Structure 1
Amino acid sequence: MVFTQENRILDHHQILQKIKRMAFEIYEHNFEEKQLVLAGIHENGYFLAQRLAQELRAISPLEVTLLEVRLHKTEPLTHDIAISPVLPSLTNTAVVLVDDVLNTGKTLAYTLRAFLDKDCKKLEIATLVNRHHTRYPISATYTGYSLATTLREHIRVVLAEEEWNAYLL
């Protein structure tokens, strides 16, 4: 895969702006909550959840808990979903699942099963880029960047230490 200036759709500064705006939206929809759980899907989703947690702590009194969700993305039914740290309960807690790209919705749909039996107060989805090719009944509550693409095109989000970019390939 070739990452170039021509196929970059978001740079470091733009990604930070999107995260900040998403944090404000999340707070606006959850301002009555005392606690909020951000559950980031390994690896980029968790990194984004960390940044969202930072922003939320800076702008709100919410007690933000961060979880990392690990699942086998190509064979989700044959492997367990791991959530760490393990919380004693999510009953009556608002939860936001976080991932970098919403493509078909498969990853998020399978991740939902780990939270459906936890009696969450509400379960929302935040994604940096939404491609609008969902095949599963999943929609993002919070989206950083919405982009209509062809089925042959792909989005690659790079969240390395010094380089944060999103590319259309």
Structure 2
Amino acid sequence: MGRKSLILTDAQVRQKIKRIAYEIYENNSQEKEIILAGIYEQGYELANLLLKELEVIAPIKITLIGVKLDKFAPTQSEIALTCNVSQLKNKCIVLIDDVMNTGRTMAYSLKPFLNVKIKKIETAVLVNRSHTEFPILTQYAGYQLSTTINEHVEVQLERDKKEVYLQ
């Protein structure tokens, strides 16, 4: 890959996460519980950061679960949740990933949620590249970024350093 360009600094990433948390709460303030479903690895880390922000601002129960799948071969792999699907009945789910590119990962990640009657599913990403090939809409996006399909967005969500690069 070529040279990396910093597109979001640590402070900007933290601000975007805080804004997304406020939007999630504003749109779901009447709920008794919100389930944050983070797609492993980076989406789960982003969901965990959103959980921490929501716990500060929202007086409702926030539950974090993980979605495990092989992003490169989703049709050949099992798509699993880190909870029992019965716990999701009549709940509001926010499916979370770090970057939305074609919508493929999000589309396949929906599969386990189709086995239970849920109230609604929303989606959240830190960076939306808008190269959609699947009918997936992001309700919450921290940053809209116009890129070519050949460019790569790298999200770093380490403990002391949260940054986004374009390569």
Using the size of structure 2 for normalisation, the TM-score is: 0.95
Which residue in 2 is equivalent to 1:150? 148
Q: CA RMSD in A?
A: 1.3
Which residue in 1 is equivalent to 2:118? 120
Per-residue deviation, 1:66: 0.3
Per-residue deviation, 1:3: 6.3
1:83-162 correspondence to structure 2 within 5 Å? 83-162=81-160
Of all paired residues, the percent bearing the same amino acid is 47
User: Residue 140 of structure 1: SS of its match in structure 2?
Assistant: coil
Question: Any unmatched runs of 5+ in structure 2?
Answer: none
Which residue in 1 is equivalent to 2:45? 47
Per-residue deviation, 1:74: 1.1
Write the letter of the residue equivalent to 2:140: Y
Distance in 1 (CA, whole Å) between partners of 2:7 and 2:104 is: 23
Question: Any unmatched runs of 5+ in structure 1?
Answer: none
Per-residue deviation, 1:13: 0.9
Distance in 2 (CA, whole Å) between partners of 1:88 and 1:135 is: 31
User: Residue 15 of structure 1: SS of its match in structure 2?
Assistant: helix
Using the size of structure 1 for normalisation, the TM-score is: 0.94
Moved segments of 4+, more than 4 Å? 1-4
CA contact under 8 A between 2:85 and 2:115: conserved in structure 1? no
